[in-house]
Amino acid sequence: MDRYYKDEFVTRCPYCGGTEMIEAFQSAYGAVTSQERKLSGMALYHTVCLKCGSVVRSYVKTPEKLLKRKDRNGD
C-alpha cells in the first residue's frame, strides 16, 4: 500500500507548498457530534502535509449521519 494519501481536494499545502500528504484521524475526545444528536461521535479525519506537518483539511466521512434519522435522505 502506498504510504502517501491522495486527497482529491488537496494537492498542495497552502503553507509550505508540499505535495506529499497523509491521512490521519482522531476519535474519542476529538470525535465530532451534532448539537441535536449528543450521542456517540464520529471520527474526524485530517489531511496532513508531510513536509511541514500542517493539517490542511479536516472532515468526517459520512456527514449525513450527523442529522437526525428522520432528516436524512434515503434512511
Q: What is the pLDDT of residues 11-22, one digit of tens each?
A: 899 999 999 998
Higher-scoring residue by pLDDT: 56, 68: 56
pLDDT of residue 1: 36
Average pLDDT over residues 45-50: 91
d(CA 58, CA 23): 10
69 pLDDT more than 80 = no
Q: Pairing mode, if any, of strands 21-26 and 55-59?
A: unpaired
39 pLDDT more than 60 = no
- Out of 18-22, 23-27, 48-52, least confident range: 23-27
d(CA 24, CA 35): 24
pLDDT of residue 38: 59
Distance of CA 32 to the CA centre of its chain: 10
